[in-house]
Amino acid sequence: MNIFSIIEEIEKIDPEFQDRISPRRAAIRNITSFGSKVAMAALPFALGSLFEKAYGQTTVGDVNGTLNFALKLEYLEAAFYNTAINTSGLIPAADLAAFQTIAAHENAHVAFLKSVLSTNAVAQTTQGTNGTYDWTAGGTLPNYFATKDYATFLIVANAFEDTGVRAYKGQAPFIIGNQVVLTAALQIHSVEARHASHIRTIRRKLSSSGTTPKSWITGANDTGFAGVAANYAGEDNTMQGGVDLTTLTNPTTGAKFTTTALTEAFDEPLTYAQVLPLVTPFGVK
């Protein structure tokens, strides 16, 4: 088995193969020595990893695919907030400026992603029904825009923002090493986290306790609404990079960290396959 003849064959039909497996071509050059120095028995596994890296994420996995996935989520968010700020009687005057800011950001993200994708950008009209979304998610949510139900609108906004943060985080490895595209994605990612923080602050101010939800995510689904539990699946993770955080001692207090702190300190990613079912009911395709 000659790994290089295999790669050459693939390149004949897929010229971007090397870029798929690594945005840095230096990586592939190292395989020369790799093949000669590692036992041949290990090769099938290594080769399998190589192909999985290149094609494992069938719908996304290339820069355009990743950016179009982001664009679809931004279309959804932009339409959501545009509807909200144009629904009189929904948002109290004190919060209107914040939602106008958030709406402007989501519209700007749409414009930015479309400009980067150029002719490769999916059209907004491909989403929902000719570009119109179902804000009840197929009847699983009340019609909060029609009834001007601010509390429910805030829960959906809370879930959208936190899910957006998770989705961008999950896509980052697929554009690793790409200075322009990855950096821009990270710059959008942190803006979504700022939005999430603020919407959580709004909800906390309106809550009877005045203490929840926090501006950061505590455990799995701290929104107080079971209907969005899937959006928070895995946020209660306490293993990071192979380190079991529950074993760490807080040198300042001399005690173990609380589980609450362990889950709050790290936000968790979601894969494309995990995000899609969460937004499909609204019309994302």
Partner 1 sequence: MENLTKNDDQLVAGEKVAGGRMQRKSFLRYAGAGAAAIGMFAAAACSKHHDDASAGVDVGAGDIGVLNYAYALEQLEAAFYIQVVATPYTGMTSAELSAFTDIRDHEILHREFLKAALGTSAIQSLGVNFSSINFTDRTSVLTAAKAFEDTGVSAYNGAGYIITNPAYLTLAGKIVSVEARHAAFIRDTINYGSFADNTVVDATTALDLSRKPSQVLPIVAVYLTTNVTANQLP
Binders in 169-228 for partner 1, by CB under 8 A = 169, 172-173, 176-179, 182-184, 186-198, 200-201, 210-211, 214-216
Which residue carries 């000659």 as its tokens? 2
Residue closer to partner 1 by CB (options 46, 151) is 46
Residue closer to partner 1 by CB (options 34, 150) is 34
Candidate list 3, 10, 85, 108; residue touching partner 1; CB under 8 A: 108
For residue 130, the minimal CB distance to partner 1 (Å) is: 26
For residue 192, the minimal CB distance to partner 1 (Å) is: 8
The answer to whether 102 contacts partner 1 (rule: CB under 8 A) is yes
How far is Cα 195 from Cα 168, in angstroms, rounded to an integer?
Answer: 14
The answer to whether 114 contacts partner 1 (rule: CB under 8 A) is no
Candidate list 6, 9, 49, 132; residue touching partner 1; CB under 8 A: 49
Cβ-based neighbour number of residue 15 at 10 Å: 9
For residue 21, the minimal CB distance to partner 1 (Å) is: 8
Residue type, 191: V
For residue 266, the minimal CB distance to partner 1 (Å) is: 4
Handedness of CA 176, 181, 182, 183 (dihedral sign): positive
The answer to whether 52 contacts partner 1 (rule: CB under 8 A) is yes
Binding mask of the shown chain, residues 137 to 166, with x at each position contacting partner 1 by CB under 8 A: ----------------------------x-
How far is Cα 136 from Cα 235, in angstroms, rounded to an integer?
Answer: 25
198 CB-side CA count, 13 A: 14
The answer to whether 246 contacts partner 1 (rule: CB under 8 A) is no
Residue type, 16: E
Subset of residues 66 to 95 that bind partner 1, contact rule: CB under 8 A: none
Residue type, 47: L
For residue 12, the minimal CB distance to partner 1 (Å) is: 22
- Report CA-CA distances (Å) from 8 to 2, 52, 61, 134: 10, 17, 21, 47
> What DSSP element (H or E) covers 239?
strand 239-240
Candidate list 6, 38, 151, 229; residue touching partner 1; CB under 8 A: 38
246 CB-side CA count, 13 A: 6
Q: What is the DSSP string of 104-122?
A: HHHHHHHHHHHHHHGGGSP
Subset of residues 18 to 37 that bind partner 1, contact rule: CB under 8 A: 21, 24, 27, 30-31, 33-34, 37
How far is Cα 261 from Cα 159, in angstroms, rounded to an integer?
Answer: 20
Residue closer to partner 1 by CB (options 141, 192) is 192
Subset of residues 251 to 270 that bind partner 1, contact rule: CB under 8 A: 251-252, 257-258, 261-262, 264-269
Q: Which residues 6+ apart lie within 8 Å of 187 measured at CB? A: none
Residue closer to partner 1 by CB (options 114, 141) is 114
The answer to whether 112 contacts partner 1 (rule: CB under 8 A) is yes
Residue closer to partner 1 by CB (options 134, 266) is 266
Q: Could you tell me which of 160, 154, 148, 267 has the C-alpha nearest to residue 202?
A: 154
